[in-house]
């Protein structure tokens, strides 16, 4: 889906950054001056945003060729892209292209780390992003997660019913909320957030498809799974662990036996991957 939507958003980013024009380049660089440049990784990580950076340069009329593709690993010093075109245009697209590449690659790197750690203990567990993304950047943040092998979860509130704690405060019990959603839902999947092992059983019996185990310790999760197994319901629901999960504890949640782990670590706390654009030489 690096599509019309992504291109539209990148045009908006370029317009925001350019303002009324790049006054520095327009002062110093001749209008017809051409140049070649490279984007270089300054630290190791998993790449994402190469396709989006290419769009940013293409929108400014600049040729961009990917040396490394999305989803691959880069080492410090690796050339990621080679760029050629009018020097002013290269410089006009530089910041937007780098910001996308750096942010998305940071998210992809963090996602891959969580996946690798979790699957040491549970080879089948999925790692998913939450909706804790930067406003208006959800598409790019989630695409970086997918590029690294993770799951996007919901992009928007309209994608799926997810009954959370504040809904329960307004509606009532877990079972009541799930049953009501099942009767009236326009979407196929119904997910509900629970905080106690007993509520997991209530959710499954009421017909939830996915049960989010929010801020539950791995020991509590194991207890909930045993309860479901006793009732013959374990295979009827997808169990998702969530809440303060990152590299330091993801393995223990994976080992507890859940099907999916959702985390905001990748999109809210992971640092951007450092990169730079370097002009190699001017062309006459």
Is 63 among the catalytic positions? no
Do residues 190 and 237 touch, judged by C-beta distance below 8 A? no
Taken in order 14, 16, 21, 27, the sign of the CA dihedral is negative
Query: CA angle at residue 75 from 74 to 78, to 5 degrees?
Result: 80
Q: From the candidates 132, 151, 196, 217, which is the catalytic residue? A: 132
Q: Are 255 and 121 in contact (CB under 8 A)?
A: yes
Pairing mode, if any, of strands 45-46 and 73-74? antiparallel
CA distance 109 to 136: 21
The tokens describing 21, both together, are 């024009």
**Residues 30/277, Cβ–Cβ less than 8 Å:** no
Catalytically active residues, by annotation: 132
């Amino acid at each position: 889906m690096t599509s019309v939507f992504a291109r539209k958003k990148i045009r908006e980013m370029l317009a925001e950054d350019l303002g009324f024009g790049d006054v520095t380049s327009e002062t110093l660089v001749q209008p017809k001056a051409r140049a070649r440049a490279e984007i270089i990784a300054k630290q190791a990580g998993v790449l994402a945003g190469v396709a989006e950076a290419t769009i940013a340069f293409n929108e400014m009329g600049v040729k961009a060729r990917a040396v490394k593709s999305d989803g691959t690993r880069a080492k410090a010093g690796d050339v990621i892209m080679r760029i050629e075109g009018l020097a002013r245009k290269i410089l006009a697209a530089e910041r937007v292209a780098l910001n996308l590449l750096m942010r998305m690659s940071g998210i992809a790197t963090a996602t891959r780390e969580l996946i690798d750690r979790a699957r040491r203990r549970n080879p089948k567990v999925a790692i998913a992003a939450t909706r804790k993304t930067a406003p208006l950047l959800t598409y790019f943040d989630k695409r970086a997660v997918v590029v690294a092998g993770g799951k996007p979860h919901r992009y928007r509130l309209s994608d799926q019913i997810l009954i959370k704690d504040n809904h329960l405060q307004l509606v009532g019990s877990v079972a009541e909320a799930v049953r009501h959603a099942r009767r009236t839902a326009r979407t196929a999947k119904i997910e509900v957030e629970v905080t106690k092992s007993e509520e997991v059983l209530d959710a499954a019996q009421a017909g939830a498809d996915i049960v989010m185990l929010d801020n539950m310790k791995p020991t509590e999760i194991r207890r909930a799974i045993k309860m479901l197994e006793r009732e013959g319901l374990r295979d009827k629901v997808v169990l998702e662990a969530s809440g303060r999960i990152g590299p330091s504890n993801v393995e223990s949640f994976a080992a507890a036996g859940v099907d999916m782990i959702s985390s905001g670590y990748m999109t809210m706390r992971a640092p951007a991957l450092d990169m730079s654009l370097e002009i190699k030489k001017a062309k006459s």
